[in-house]
Chains A and B, each alone.
Chain A
Amino acid sequence: MSKLKLVVIILNKEEFLDELLEGFLELDVRGATVIDSVGMGQLIANVPIFGGLRSLMSGARPYNKTILTVVDEEKIKPIIDVFEQICGCLDDPGSGLVFVLPVDYARGLQDKALS
């Protein structure tokens, strides 16, 4: 039996959100939660003393989307592949961040969820 994982994606290029979700559908990832979020850099750079940090944040954008989805672990690589196909290499500054956590317990996951 495959293991469930929580995939957390910080999508800096918000303009790719719809396309990324379409990519999820292609992979049969039918449920995800999308949260409007703000990077630390944006917040701290608004504190006057740290204003100079803005110029050091190469590729950073003020706002981003945080996407949460619980998937079977075999979907992790396809998800990362589709992210990079759409948004660019994760190693490039500003494209985003992906991390994956084990899920110890989950209820409410629906096979047919499109929430």
Chain B
Amino acid sequence: MKLQQLIPPERICLDIDAKTPEAVIDTLIKALTDVGAIADPELVKQKVMERERQVGTGIGFGVAIPHSEPGPYPEPIAAFGRLTKPVDFKSPDGKKVRLVFLLLTPDKTPALHVRLLARICRLTRSATLREQLLGVATAKEAAEKIAELETDYPELTP
């Protein structure tokens, strides 16, 4: 499995106009609900916000990965959002965030949760990818940029 398989264009929201992490998370959960990826958006929000309150999910470099602990999801689910204005996800470097990956993984594969978090961290360390994601015009292009960089990365086992 690769991250790119979880983030097809229909799970990418460019130019989210939100002022708080909660509003960003709401938008991404709605996008996943609209494509039928999430059956219980209320539960997902509750779990993601619970995690968000523990410690901010900003990882630095203007990137955040809001997520819930592994939960009752049938498969790994992800979405990517680009924000029009930077939002504070309490990143360790203090930098506000414009690139957000929402990640949900099944409780039956807890190790995959860590692997996917690590994969997103590694990919977004690339300043080139971050610039590309900030600059793309369409969701399809964003998906392609992620897939391009991930080509040389190993498959993640569930």
Q: Which residues of A pack against B, CB within 8 Å?
A: 19, 22-23, 25-28, 30, 78, 81-82, 85-86
Inter-chain contact B125/A25, CB cutoff 8 Å: no
Inter-chain contact B152/A23, CB cutoff 8 Å: no
Partner of A82, one of B114, B154, B157: B154
| Measured CA separation A28–B114 after assembly (Å) | 8
Q: Given A28-B111, A28-B115, does the pair A22, B122 have CB atoms closer than 8 Å?
A: yes
Inter-chain contact A25/B114, CB cutoff 8 Å: yes
Shortest distance from the beta carbon of B104 to any chain A beta carbon, whole Å:
18
Q: Which residues of B pack against A, CB within 8 Å?
A: 111, 114-115, 117-119, 121-122, 125, 152-154, 156-157
| Measured CA separation A81–B157 after assembly (Å) | 16
Closest to A111 in B: B111
| Measured CA separation A28–B156 after assembly (Å) | 9
Given contacts A22-B119, A25-B118, A28-B115, 5 further A-B contacts (CB under 8 A): A23-B122, A25-B114, A26-B119, A26-B154, A85-B153
* Chain B residue contacts of A81, Cβ below 8 A: 154
* Chain A residue contacts of B157, Cβ below 8 A: 28
Inter-chain contact B125/A26, CB cutoff 8 Å: no
Shortest distance from the beta carbon of B39 to any chain A beta carbon, whole Å:
28
